[in-house]
């Protein structure tokens, strides 16, 4: 009978805040510190440099980002990756366990959007926008696959829209249409249509098959408001 986990994680983290064996309590001990979950969010679509994380999370200080990354590494959520070509650089990437947090993060996103107090005018990062769309995608088994590119500022993503939505960062040469905007809000407004209203943020531009892009937008639904 195995009742104890003698890993470093359990010794250093589990029980430090709550003294509770619930998995949710442990998850909060790992990801509940300020900025930790948003760092995980930014890494869900691929490894990032330290400077790229700071750019995506402009209100985080270098000191706090360093501390959170070290904590996430110690808890085996994040790992360092070194590359030598074309130039030496260090990236941060999610471990397999870190990537497994995606469904919980998407569910938390939907829960937050259901509150009337949520203020879309604050803005968000390109990765957060794509994950918001992924969390609110309403494709069915009968959905015809659409390859849709997103260009948000200098960030590029390719979304494969079928029964589910899969997103990858980078080249969108396979895209049938590309939706572009200088920041995420016009895209979110256009794809969610009713809330937030598109007129607040303007409209994105579309290259390629505009009718296909409009059809793709019909597959997304902003969550119903659950607060008054």
3-state secondary structure the chain: CCCCCCCHHHHHCCCCCCCCCCHHHHHHHHHCCCCHHHHHHHHCCCCECHHHHHHHCCCCCHHHHHHHHHHHHHCCCEEEEEECCCCCEEEEEECHHHHCCHHHHHHHHHHHHCCCCCCHHHCCCHHHHHHHHHHCECCCCCCCCEEEEEEECCEEEEEEECCCEEEEECCCCCCCEEEEECCHHHHHHHHHCCCCCHHHHCCCEEEECHHHHHHHHCCECCCCCCCC
As a whole number of angstroms, the distance between CA 43 and CA 184 comes to: 17
Residue 117's CB is within 10 A of a number of other CB atoms, namely 6
Single pTM value for the model: 0.88
Give residue-wise pLDDT tens across range 103-113: 999 999 999 99
Res 202 pLDDT > 80? no
Question: Would you place residue 70 in the very low, low, confident or very high pLDDT band (cuts 50, 70, 90)?
Answer: very high
Give residue-wise pLDDT tens across range 160-197: 999 999 999 988 889 999 999 999 999 999 999 754 44
Lowest-pLDDT range of 7-16, 45-54, 151-160, 219-228 = 7-16
Res 1 pLDDT > 50? no
CA 87 to chain centre: 27
What pLDDT is recorded for position 198? 45
Res 147 pLDDT > 90? yes
What pLDDT is recorded for position 76? 96
Q: Residue 13 — φ and ψ, nearest 5°?
A: -120, -50
Topology of domain 103-217, per CATH?
Nonspecific Lipid-transfer Protein; Chain A (3.30.1050)
List the end-to-end C-alpha distance of the chain, in Å, as a whole number.
50
Segments of the chain assigned to CATH 3.30.1050: 103-217
Res 10 pLDDT > 50? no
What pLDDT is recorded for position 12? 57
Average model confidence (pLDDT) across the chain: 89
As a whole number of angstroms, the distance between CA 138 and CA 133 comes to: 10
Res 14 pLDDT > 80? no
Segments of the chain assigned to CATH 1.10.10.10: 8-100
Res 95 pLDDT > 80? yes
Topology of domain 8-100, per CATH?
Arc Repressor Mutant, subunit A (1.10.10)
What pLDDT is recorded for position 3? 38
Question: Would you place residue 5 in the very low, low, confident or very high pLDDT band (cuts 50, 70, 90)?
Answer: very low
Res 93 pLDDT > 90? yes
């Amino acid at each position: 009978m195995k009742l104890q986990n003698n890993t470093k994680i359990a010794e250093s983290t589990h029980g430090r805040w709550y003294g509770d064996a619930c998995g949710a309590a442990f998850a909060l001990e790992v990801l509940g510190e300020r900025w930790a979950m948003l760092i995980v969010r930014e890494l869900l679509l691929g490894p990032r440099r330290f400077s790229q994380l700071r750019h995506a999370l402009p209100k985080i200080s270098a000191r706090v980002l360093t501390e959170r990354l070290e904590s996430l590494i110690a808890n085996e959520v994040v790992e360092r990756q070194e590359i030598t070509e074309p130039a030496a650089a260090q990236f941060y990437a999610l471990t397999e366990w870190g990537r497994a947090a995606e469904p919980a993060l998407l569910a938390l996103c939907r829960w937050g959007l259901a509150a009337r107090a949520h203020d879309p005018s604050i803005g968000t990062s390109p990765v957060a926008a794509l994950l918001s769309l992924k969390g609110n995608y309403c494709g069915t088994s009968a959905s015809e696959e659409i390859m849709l590119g997103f260009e948000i500022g200098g960030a590029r993503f390719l979304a494969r829209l079928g029964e589910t939505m899969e997103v990858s960062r980078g080249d969108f040469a396979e895209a049938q249409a590309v939706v572009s905007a200088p920041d995420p809000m016009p895209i979110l407004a256009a794809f969610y249509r009713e809330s937030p209203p598109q007129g607040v943020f303007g409209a994105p531009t579309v290259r390629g098959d505009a009718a296909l892009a409009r059809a793709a937008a019909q597959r997304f639904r902003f969550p119903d408001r659950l607060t008054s």
